[in-house]
Structures are given as structure tokens and as C-alpha cells.
């Protein structure tokens, strides 16, 4: 989770491309990768999906198996409790 979607997408794209340079075989496990201005979606061949989002009201209802909250100390606790965790 990042303060806004644009920042989350930018940082995520950079890190994912760095990981692929270090471990090129990992990229071969990707079925499809979509990098947009304010989103990142990576679909893996095994059916898994990695989506990068910010904590916005529009993200309510997204179901996940795991959530990573980056820089949690800087996040709005109410937003985390009301949008991300339910």
C-alpha cells in the first residue's frame, strides 16, 4: 500500500523490473503483466495474481490472500482498518 496509486505503480514497476533482471527465470513464470500509470497487475501461469493498489475508497471490496502495507507508520489507520483489512 502506498499513499497514492501513481506512486505505488511507479515504485512497483521499478522493483519488479529489477527483480526480473536479477532472476530472469521468474519473468518466464508470468503469463501477462500490465503496467499502467496508476496500476500494476501481474498474472502468473499458476493462476496467482499480484495487484498493486493504494488505500482509496474505490479499492473497497477487493479480496486478497495477503496484504503488504509499506511505510505503515505513515498510513491513515482508519483507511487501513476500513478499506484494506476487511
pTM score of the predicted model: 0.67
Judging by DSSP bridges, how do beta strands 49-52 and 30-35 pair with one another? unpaired
Taking the C-alpha atoms of residue 6 and residue 12, their distance in angstroms, rounded to an integer, is 10
**Could you tell me the pLDDT band of residue 21, with boundaries at 50, 70 and 90?**
very high
Residue with more model confidence, 14 or 83: 14
Q: Are 67 and 84 in contact (CB under 8 A)?
A: yes
pLDDT in tens, 51-61: 876 655 555 55
Amino acid at each position: 500500500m502506498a499513499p497514492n496509486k501513481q506512486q505505488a505503480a511507479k515504485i512497483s514497476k521499478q522493483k519488479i523490473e529489477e527483480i526480473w533482471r536479477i532472476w530472469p527465470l521468474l519473468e518466464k513464470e508470468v503469463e501477462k503483466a500490465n503496467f499502467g500509470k496508476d496500476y500494476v497487475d501481474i498474472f502468473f501461469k499458476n493462476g496467482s495474481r499480484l495487484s498493486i493498489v493504494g488505500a482509496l475508497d474505490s479499492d473497497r471490496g477487493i479480496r486478497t490472500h495477503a496484504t503488504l502495507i509499506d511505510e505503515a507508520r505513515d498510513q491513515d489507520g482508519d483507511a487501513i482498518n476500513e478499506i484494506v483489512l476487511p
